[in-house]
Structure 1
């Protein structure tokens, strides 16, 4: 099996403007053109390329000059390629299409069409736009563009039509290899996805990824308004440990491992939509968003819809040092038991702010794993709501807080499902809950930890059970100025301080 790193061996970006955009807000950034009078503009048809798709253009491309500043222009038409075009170590190169479609030859058994730079010989100042790659023939698909540049990468308006069903590399790989380099990928569309390798003649492990940002990426890369999925591996996979990737907008659907998989310090997702609403036979764990590692990962103003859930909405993995989920909406419809937001046990600090979770399935809306000690890296949940008809058939509680030192400030929970559906269970020591409303079918709040503080909370069972249960062995618990309908069930020997509470009967 081979992996997808893919390494076996003229519009120029205004870097100042783009760096300003990435370093500050995520507002749109502009690009400026340098003069191209000193570069050569080559119309490939004028140079002998066949625009009817009958004759391969690969020999024509190989014979053309590739001096720095060269532009290959593809007029409207269909172009057949039966070999890889490779260009490395350049400083200034463009591929520009005008309603141009490129078709891989049926008998071409290679894995690339355009390899522009490598991690050992990266290019610089690369611009690609306006090309469509046609995978509609049976057993067709390969890496159509692999671009590895030190700096100044701009890719716009590329598309793949037809399902990738060859079992070769996924269609795109983009890396900025220098730590100070920058690039942008805009309006790249590959909605038809790819087939699992076991159903193809190829040998890629599992199957192809749609857009890969590999371990060789060390700079900063925007991914803007792309349409991705469904892919058998990942839709967008950013596997860098040292680089930064910023996803801005776009639609990501139904990839098997993850639709957006992100890592790297300060990598983030903004204004995106992620949907899981269809499963193929091999789609066994379709996570929407997975944060793999790095500090200050941020998911903001993003909508996640699990309409046919068989994986989690947002997973925060162990190597993440600090993550923030902010102003997001997550909807999980009825289906297989799952979790909306899951924090792994060794992940660092996590903030969940101003977000809405509609959870209509068995499982947890929030599952916070981690050390149970009161000095654990905290999870802060602020101004967040959990609603829906989730039931208790696979985990009674909508929120399971195994981590200590968590803060739930103005968390509101309403879960109306049956099977003893509850609101929150506190298992980590030193947690605080304040100013939240908890309304669930069964007991809304269950405490099984020490040094828990409740202040200004309201808890009501829709079936008339007690509003709170404190389990045997809980000590140092404080409950103040709260409204607990039908009182509190102290289940065993507990140590609780009460002050200024109200216990209305139903």
Structure 2
């Protein structure tokens, strides 16, 4: 199969020399495909491993048609260059793993670069959060690697070694080594079709990793119109999913989820869910797997990480519980999961539903305009630090499409659903509420929870109808199971600003404290019924 690489220079006419090396016995040819212009002085010479093209662009385009794979390329001024493979998206040189530093035109005679595939098209509104920075190919066909503490005995290249189709014309199901432990499959930029659920059962050290410069460079697609659990890892130790995306299309039906029930060493890093997220009315198959990502660590001493997960596509809010949960950490999770620097927005239910799990530590991130709750945590060992929770969207977005009723949109809901353990910490987190939607509160402490400290936080609430902090009576609510330990709730150095007639704290149990807090809400009455009240009123 022949491919075309088009090189575009954004410069102002100054020379930008480059070279590109190709594998294979067929000599590349210069072409004017994609409207490219060519400089006839460019040279194509044979090397020990194939061919090499040396050229110069002056604020225009060069194009080459080739049959093998690219072995390497280099540009004197890579910041001026964009590259297109066939009819796919323009990318920076960093998105291609074979790019090498410029050394005066030397090099390019060989090496083992990535395959000849680029990324698919399609916008998704995804955040530009940092990727894994993984543009260098790991050893394949027998080479070993260690990533984020997981030892892989074999690293294989999805296209070069496993002959997967990077254009998503043929499914990759049969080529994925799901029955083999100790293997890391690395994907060059492209689009890959997963037709059926890929189950990895009782297998240690297994992973998928994209080689692009951005998680969106490697996209996994599932059949259109279906809700597909693409990856199901269950029972092993050591799971890695890194630097890739799952594309859900925008047909309001296609959904994709990933589940990882891991004993220990769970690593999900720089992963994106792209496109629209359907609910179970739009696709009844979503009822069985009503989440996008479901990580669990089953060993009580086990540790997992979910880092830079982004899911910001649109959804339509339906009646609870018919909405899709972006991240669900369920009851099997007995270890500790760190959720760091994630961005979840515009979802119909529970941004992070983790009140059935053991310790879940959320660090940083933006959680914005998600219906029902923007964060749902519980119990000893769990925490929310350095994050931002925002609800500022038009209230109509939060109205149930099937009943017409307004949803209950909490900022943080703290409860103890299964473990019955008191405790928890909310620290240095900013809450912003400007939407007059229906809500039980910016921060809601359920009657099943206690021993919670809220410290060094800022709550800006400009609404008339949304309470600020609500602490329910012990034993109240649908959960009912009271914590066996502490029942108190303490707010330390919390700042309240904005308009609205609700008091800063509505305490419905006797042991609630406000210590060193500051309030600048001229319309709000003083909080009553608190055990300790140390509050400065006035300008903050």
Same fold (TM over 0.5): yes
Question: Shift of residue 284 of structure 1?
Answer: 2.1
Distance 1:161 1:249 in 2: 21
Selected match of 1:147 from 253, 260, 267: 260
Q: Distance in 2 between matches of 1:382 and 1:224?
A: 29
| Aligned residue-pair number | 358
User: What is the aligned counterpart of 1:305 among 432, 435, 447?
Assistant: 432
1:379 equivalenced with 2:512 (yes/no)? yes
Q: Partners in 1 of 2:334 and 2:254 — Cα distance?
A: 28
Compute the displacement of 1:363 (Å).
2.0
For 1:286, the equivalent position in structure 2 comes to 409
5+ unaligned residues in a row in structure 2: which ranges? 1-131, 133-145, 212-216, 281-285, 401-405, 476-486
Cα deviation for residue 171 of structure 1 reads: 0.9
Change (3 A) 1:51 1:94: same
Indicate if the aligned counterparts of 2:149 and 2:265 stay in contact, CA closer than 8 A. no
CA separation in 1, counterparts of 2:160 and 2:251?
A: 28
Q: Which residue of 1 aligns with 2:45?
A: none
Residue 455 of structure 2 is aligned to residue 322 of structure 1? no
Q: Is the contact between residue 201 and residue 236 of structure 2 (CA under 8 Å) also seen in structure 1?
A: yes
Equivalent of residue 195 in structure 2, options 76, 82, 94 = 82
The 1:32–1:100 alpha-carbon spacing in structure 2 relative to 1, beyond 3 Å, is closer
**Shift in CA distance, 72/274, structure 1 to aligned 2, threshold 3 Å:** same
Partner of 1:341 in structure 2?
469
More contact order relative to length (CA 8 Å, sep ≥ 6): 2
Tell me how far 1:73 sits from its aligned partner. Answer: 1.3
How far the C-alpha of 1:161 sits from its partner, in A, is: 1.5
SS of residue matched to 1:231: coil
- Is 1:170 paired with 2:291? yes
**Counterpart in the other structure of 1:400:** 528
Residue 245 of structure 1 contacts residue 264 of structure 1 at CA under 8 Å; is this kept in 2?
Answer: no
Do the aligned partners of 1:56 and 1:80 also contact (CA within 8 Å) in 2?
A: yes
Question: Which moves more between the two structures, 306-315 or 265-274?
Answer: 306-315
Contact in 2 for aligned 1:390/1:398 (Cα 8 Å): no
1:34 and 1:141, CA in 2 relative to 1: closer, same or farther beyond 3 A?
same
1:215 to 320, 328, 331: 331
Distance 2:424 2:458 in 1: 17
Q: How does 1:425-436 map to 2 (within 5 A)?
A: none
Using the TM superposition, give the Cα deviation of residue 31 of structure 1 relative to its aligned residue in structure 2, in angstroms.
7.5
> What is the CA–CA distance in structure 2 between the aligned matches of 1:265 and 1:141, rounded to whole Å?
37
The Cα of 1:48 is off from its aligned counterpart by 2.4
**Alignment match, 1:103:** 221
Structure 1 residues not aligned, in runs of 5+: 1-10, 12-29, 199-203, 371-375, 392-396, 416-436, 438-506
The residue that corresponds to 2:232 in the other structure is 115
Residue pairs, 1:171-186, within 5 angstroms? 171-186=292-307
Q: Residues of 2 paired with 1:65 and 1:162: CA distance?
A: 27
Offset of 1:65 from its aligned partner? 5.8
- 1:355-398 deviation per Cα after TM superposition (whole angstroms, max 9, x unaligned): 1011411322210002xxxxx5x22211101112435xxxxx34
Pair 1:31–1:146, CA change in 2 (3 A)? same
Is 1:194 aligned to residue 311 of structure 2? no
Query: Secondary structure at the residue paired with 1:159?
Result: strand
The 1:233–1:46 alpha-carbon spacing in structure 2 relative to 1, beyond 3 Å, is: same
What displacement does 1:45 show? 5.3
Task: Calculate the TM-score normalised by the size of structure 1.
Answer: 0.67
The partner residue of 2:347 within 231, 241, 244 is: 231
- Computed over aligned residues only, the root mean square deviation of the Cα atoms, in angstroms, reads 2.4
- In the alignment, the residues of structure 2 paired with residue 267 and residue 141 of structure 1 have an alpha-carbon distance, to the nearest angstrom, of 33
Distance verdict in 2 for CA 1:276–1:35, change over 3 Å: closer
Distance 1:246 1:193 in 2: 26
